Structure formats: C-alpha cells, structure tokens
Structure 1
C-alpha cells in the first residue's frame, strides 16, 4: 500500500514536462525537486488513504478553533452506511477522515474532548449532515468559543473580530492592488488572478513544508517564481493579444479559460485536500482580550510594509509615475514618450509578486488548497470595485472595508454567511456611489 502523497509523484513529473516551455528551465527544476518532496502527507488522517488518485479519494474534514486559536486533540465522529471513524485534530486544529465513497454522512463533534473553558457556540447543534457528491473533499464547520468558565464581554468580542478583520483585509489588499493595476493599465479584468494567489501558496508550501527550506529563502524563491509567472503570462499571452488588437471581451474570455486550466492543473497535481504550512509560527500572543497567532501578527506586519512600499513606488519613482500615467490615459502617455508595453510588463510582474505574497499569507491564515484563490476571487473583485476601478489606493480601502465587515458580521450572524455580508455592503455602497469610494465620476455621452 502506498500513500496519497506517493501517488502524486508521477503526476508531478508529467506536469514538469508539460509546463517546461512555459515557466523556463530554472522554474521547472525547482518544481521537480519540490514535487518529489511533497510525497509526505501532513494533513492528519486517522485512517489510511486508499490507493488511487484524487478522483477516488473522498475526505470529510475541517479545522476547529476557538477565537482563531487552533484546538488540539478534539475528536469528531464521522458515520455513514456501515462506516464509522473518528478524526482527531492536530496541533493546527485540523482533522480529516477518509470515507469509503460518495454518499451521505454525519459528522458529530465530541463535546467532551474540547479543552476546559471551550464550548460549542450552539450546544444543541453539534451534528452536521455531509454529502459527498460533486466534490471529493467536504469541510465541516463547528464554531466554538469560550465556555462558562471564561466570560467574554461584547466589547472584547468586537475588538477581537476587528483585529481579525484588519488582518484579513490587509492580505486581501495585496492581491486586490494587483487586479487594480492590471485593469488600470490594460482595461482587462483578469479572472485568472486567483490562480496567481494559489500559485504562491502552493510553491511556498512545497519549499517550506515539503522540501524543508529556510523560511526566508522559501519566501524569496516563491516571490521570484510568482514574478516569473506574471512575466510569462504577459509575454506569452496578453502582449500578443494586444498586438493583434483583440477586444477586451475576447481577452476576458481568455482569462476565464486560463483560470480554469491552471486551477484544474493545481487540482490534478497538488490534490484536492488541504495542506498545512510548516513555518514554526504556531504560538499565540495575547493582546488584551485578543488572542492571535504569531503567524497572523507577522502577516499583518508584512502586509503593512509591502503596502507602504507600493505606495512609495507609485508616487515617488519614475516608473511608478509612468504607471499612473498609463492608467489615466494610455494613448496620451504613449504620445508623451512613455513605453506603454514596458510599463504593462512591470505591472504584470509586480501584480503577480504581490499576489504571490498574498497567497503565502492567506496560506498561513487558512491553509493551502487547490482552489483557494478562486474561492476569494469574488471578494478581490468586490474590493477593487468598492474602492474604485483602476485605483490602487482605492483597492486598499476596499479590501480593508471588505475584511472588516466580513469578520465583524460574525458577531451577529453565522460565520458561514460572512462573505455574503461583504457583497451586500458592496451593493449598498455602489447604489449611492457608483464610482466606488476613491473612484472618479466619468462623463457618459
């Protein structure tokens, strides 16, 4: 019997050969070594993964936290027809159970295994109905919080969600600015942008957890590969389309197709499960009533530094000013002697790098999955639209608004609905200010 990680190794090699022309020799060599190291499975699975690829492996799992603090040793009972298995959370709070196949299952939180002082938010609803149908992996949510032994005031809860919302908004901003810069200079809404986020997260996982590289080296290598990925997209696909005068609608369709192809390549070679990043930043820090992980603090710090650097780049450097000029009026910028193609190339590389960094931070925040970028793509577009299309600073403001409302809404509504609240906020703002928070009104007619 061999593990799921071992079954992926031949597919990684085939992927290596298929993508050779696209990502260049150096990138491919890194992928081959990293993919081979990815053979060790890190997601805790109480039962062995059956022989086969991702199309024949079915998993029920999830993550159990208390105010974003992972809970270790908590048990979840998964039952079905003639099947019963218990999953136990690991140090990062994740649990998983491999089930026999498609069908109906129930997942029950074993309340007596929760740590002292922690209880389900809804004690009468600790069983979830799970259907394995169109997807091979289903994640189950069991919201928990401090129990009766620790009283938490509404103000403490509000402050905690505010900090978490700021963290989420900052990492969204890194990716949203990339979307805004590409749209501002080319007019293209890139629906493959989410895959650039996933690209960064997957390679960072391979370098750190699978290959065991130093954290700083892994970050630098991931950002270099992300930059190369952006360069390849513009040089190999979008610049030729611009030269041929292909319309924006056709280019939009191309980005959708590119998104689908790259996303399912990730699924085929990376697998459908959730992987954990091994960075050593698992300690928690208490800031008054707020308990936050060291990884989240580092994520917030890195996001703030990078956003400041982007602002300085756009306002103080020559190429940054040229980027703003192209965004305002590409034809006038070209007539003024600005090399528009060069500016667009720089924008693609910078956008891919920022989005790859956002993927690293989001992987620390939620774990790494094959569709993680696609899952938050709508939020990224919402942030860009809310802040004002084509405005990098507007994307930052929009992302912070989305992040804050997403987390603050969980104070009064179930966490499953928090993304819907962010989109409702987008609709309400656009009803009263169609150009967005920092967008400019455009004359029609």
Structure 2
C-alpha cells in the first residue's frame, strides 16, 4: 500500500486571505483599464467604410447621432448639414450594428418601418468591396419607449442566463482550486476552446456537422483538453512539489500561449456560429430566441446533474473530501491523483460548454472571448467562497445579474467593471465569501 505523500500545511485562513487580496488587486487594475480609453476602437485611417443618410421626406436631418458597433469597438457619429454620416472600420466581411439615437431626432419624429420591430437599429455586413450604406426612413410617428421596469425584468432574465453560463465555467475553476490549489488563469482559454471547436465542427467552411452532433463532440474535445493539460503539465508539476505561486505563473504563461494560438488559427475577427441570429420571441416584457431558451435549459440541466454527482456519487464525495483536507483524504485511502484527473476532465467539459453558450450569448466567437470573462469567473469563485462548487454557482448568478442590471445606470462598456467594484467591496467586509467557512459546502 502506497503511503500518502507529505503535505505542508499552511496557516489557517492565510491562503484565502492572500488569494482574496490578489483578486481584489487584479479587479481594481481591470476597473482602471476598462474605465480608461484604450486602443481597441476603430481608427480614422481604417480602410473600410460604413456610411449613410438620414432624411425626413427628402430633407436632410442634421445633428442626429448614430452608434456603430462591431469589430474595432463602438463608434459614435453625427450627421452633417446634408444629413450624411460615415465611419471607418477595420474589417471587411464582418458584421456591424448601426443604431440611430431617436432622442436626437426632432420632436414628434420617429424612425418608421412597419415590417421591423426595431427600425432604428440595422445589422449590416461590410462585403468584399469594403463599403456599405445604411439609410433610415424617418417620418411622423409614435416612439416605442420601453419602461424602466420592463427593461429591469429583461436584464434580470439576461443576467440569470449569463450567470448560469458563467457558473458552468466557475464551478470547474473552483473545483480545480479546491483539489489542487492552482489558480488557473488559463481557464478562460479552456472556455474559448469549446467555442473554437464548435466552430470547426459545425462551420459551413469546415466539417459542417449538424448542431446536435457538433456541440456534444466539442464538449468531449474540451474534456480531452482538460485531461491532456493535467497529464502533460499539471501532474508532473504536482509531483515535483512546485509551489502555488509558481503554478499560477505557469498558468498565466499557458493562458497567453493558448490565446495567441487561437488568434493565429481563427484570426482577430468575430465568427458567428450557426443560428446565432435566430429571431426573438416576446414573452411579456422578456424577449428571447429559441437559442436563449435552449441555453437556459441546458445550463440548468447540467448544473443539476453536476450537483447530484457531487453530492451522491462516490467520486463526488471524494472530490469534496479532497477539497476540505487533501492530506486526510489521502490517509483515508482516496486516490488523490485519480480524483484530480477526473476534476480536470470535468473542468474542461464544463468550460467548453460554457464557451459554446457564451458564443451564442454575445453573439459571436473571438480569440480572446474567454479572457474577457476570466476575472468575472474569479470574482464569482471568490464571492461564493474559495474552493466551494456551490458557492461558485451562487457567486456566478450574483455577478451575472449585477453585470446586466448595472447597464441601466452605467455605460455598457463599464458593466463588467461595475461587477468587479462590488467584488472589491465584498472582499473588504467578507473575504471568505458567501459560503466560505471552516466546513465548506460543495
């Protein structure tokens, strides 16, 4: 019988405090980065162009504001004395959304299009020629204004949906930290991998498999990725007794390597998965497509199945035991290496599924999409309680709702920063998290 490996114990509460301090510092830095102007926006000298006219009964309207969103970031433009506007964009064969701000129209005037529920918003594609025009039909009419409470209900539902997706990824991140002590900064790239694999399997220019075959295969490939990372990188480092700080640095390097590998293969643009533009259906104040409904139901089903596995199965109970006390679990006969291997497989599968659903939620697949939500995953894990799977789920739901609802009061570009500010405040008053306690749950 193999004797358990010696484990060097850390002072009680020291690791969670250090981890919480690190997360608070990273969150504060991200808030500053998000709030500061960056070079991510399109530049004046970009080679491609979107232009158009805004006229009322043939007469130009001056001073009307429009927002163009797509690759290169958001741009705002105002019509000139001829009712014309134009912006430069960095990519062709890419999708953009042009939104006219009806508040800048003259009194009693609205965008009119009986066949369109959102006539002030148009989706366009900059084709091979690198030019596209967008014109708006303006006339007398009544503006459709959504009440604050309807917006609150819609955003709350979107936040719950986003929180469930975030929870799928955060649960795996929490399990890895609880069983190995690794703060895996490459977990965001494991999220991206699921979407990239799906695009390769179901994309029209690649294998073009049916969606019901491609998505499960992408989840399986994500699970294989988790296993490969453990076998090739993490298990050898564990056997060499590498410290947690060194492991964290390795994970940061792995994150950068994977991220730029994705960029090399799929480019810097945005790729849409099949059915991403499914039409919206109205359920009272809530609007959602069948993709949103499927995402919601899949997330709930997987989370319930995972909770049953964690609380009822032998492996699940062993995972919880290792999270609570690895040395005691090893002394009681639990094969720690085997359980950790299973945890990495589960973490990869959950992260891959979260990436697929997130690509539909945005919508669109980008090479750095996982990195965009990495700190939100850490925020959810820390908010719920370090190393607790159920705490990570609760934290994810809170972060998801905060991110979406905060958009009612702050600019959309800052909504992620708002959630991280809340994280900093909570860490100051309850650093152990919501479910953080001596006897962990989950």
TM over 0.5: yes
- 1:424 corresponds, among 421, 424, 430, to 421
Partner of 1:7: none
Whole-angstrom distance in 2 between the partners of 1:62 and 1:347: 37
Q: Which 10-residue stretch deviates more, 266-275 or 204-213?
A: 204-213
Partner of 2:398: 401
Partner of 2:162: 168
Over residues 32-87 of structure 1, what are the superposed CA-to-partner deviations in whole Å (9 max), with x where a residue is unaligned? Answer: xxxxxxxxxxxxxx969xxxxxxxxxx955699xxxxxxxxxx983249xxxx998
Partner of 2:337: 341
Unaligned runs of 5+ in 2: 1-46, 50-69, 76-83, 103-109, 122-140
Query: In 2, are the aligned partners of 1:178 and 1:354 still within 8 Å (CA)?
Result: yes
Query: In 1, are the aligned partners of 2:174 and 2:392 still within 8 Å (CA)?
Result: yes
2:380 is the counterpart of 1:383: yes
- 1:361 corresponds, among 353, 357, 364, to 357
2:437 is the counterpart of 1:440: yes
- 2:281 corresponds, among 274, 281, 285, to 285
Written as runs of structure 1 = structure 2, the 5 A alignment for 1:279-358 is 279=275, 282-358=278-354
Q: 1:215 to 1:320 in 2, by over 3 A?
A: same
Query: In 2, are the aligned partners of 1:194 and 1:373 still within 8 Å (CA)?
Result: yes
Partner of 1:95: 96
Whole-angstrom distance in 2 between the partners of 1:292 and 1:306: 21
Query: In 2, are the aligned partners of 1:76 and 1:88 still within 8 Å (CA)?
Result: no
2:180 is the counterpart of 1:180: no
Partner of 2:59: none
Q: Secondary structure of 2:184's partner?
A: coil
Larger radius of gyration: 2
2:208 is the counterpart of 1:212: yes
Query: In 1, are the aligned partners of 2:276 and 2:360 still within 8 Å (CA)?
Result: no
Query: In 1, are the aligned partners of 2:281 and 2:289 still within 8 Å (CA)?
Result: yes
Query: In 1, are the aligned partners of 2:222 and 2:349 still within 8 Å (CA)?
Result: yes
Return the TM-score normalized by structure 2.
Answer: 0.70
2:74 is the counterpart of 1:78: no
Q: Secondary structure of 1:334's partner?
A: helix
Query: In 2, are the aligned partners of 1:208 and 1:279 still within 8 Å (CA)?
Result: no
Written as runs of structure 1 = structure 2, the 5 A alignment for 1:127-166 is 148-166=142-160
Whole-angstrom distance in 2 between the partners of 1:110 and 1:440: 49
Q: Which 10-residue stretch deviates more, 296-305 or 280-289?
A: 280-289
Over residues 310-341 of structure 1, what are the superposed CA-to-partner deviations in whole Å (9 max), with x where a residue is unaligned? Answer: 10010000000000001001100000000000
Q: 1:430 to 1:352 in 2, by over 3 A?
A: same
Q: 1:270 to 1:425 in 2, by over 3 A?
A: same
Return the TM-score normalized by structure 1.
Answer: 0.70
Q: Secondary structure of 2:167's partner?
A: helix
- State the shift of 1:404 in Å: 0.3
Partner of 2:410: 413
Structure with the larger RCO, 1 or 2 (CA within 8 Å, 6+ apart): 2
Whole-angstrom distance in 2 between the partners of 1:79 and 1:224: 41
Whole-angstrom distance in 1 between the partners of 2:91 and 2:263: 26
Whole-angstrom distance in 2 between the partners of 1:86 and 1:198: 22
Written as runs of structure 1 = structure 2, the 5 A alignment for 1:44-63 is 60=71
Whole-angstrom distance in 2 between the partners of 1:416 and 1:199: 25
Q: 1:149 to 1:348 in 2, by over 3 A?
A: same
- State the shift of 1:120 in Å: 6.7
Query: In 2, are the aligned partners of 1:87 and 1:95 still within 8 Å (CA)?
Result: no
- State the shift of 1:441 in Å: 5.1
- 1:257 corresponds, among 250, 253, 260, to 253
2:233 is the counterpart of 1:232: no
Query: In 1, are the aligned partners of 2:99 and 2:120 still within 8 Å (CA)?
Result: no
Partner of 1:17: none
Give the paired residue count. 334
Partner of 1:195: 189
CA RMSD of aligned residues (A): 3.0
Whole-angstrom distance in 2 between the partners of 1:61 and 1:216: 32
Q: Secondary structure of 2:398's partner?
A: helix
Partner of 1:221: 217
Unaligned runs of 5+ in 1: 1-45, 49-58, 65-74, 97-106, 122-146
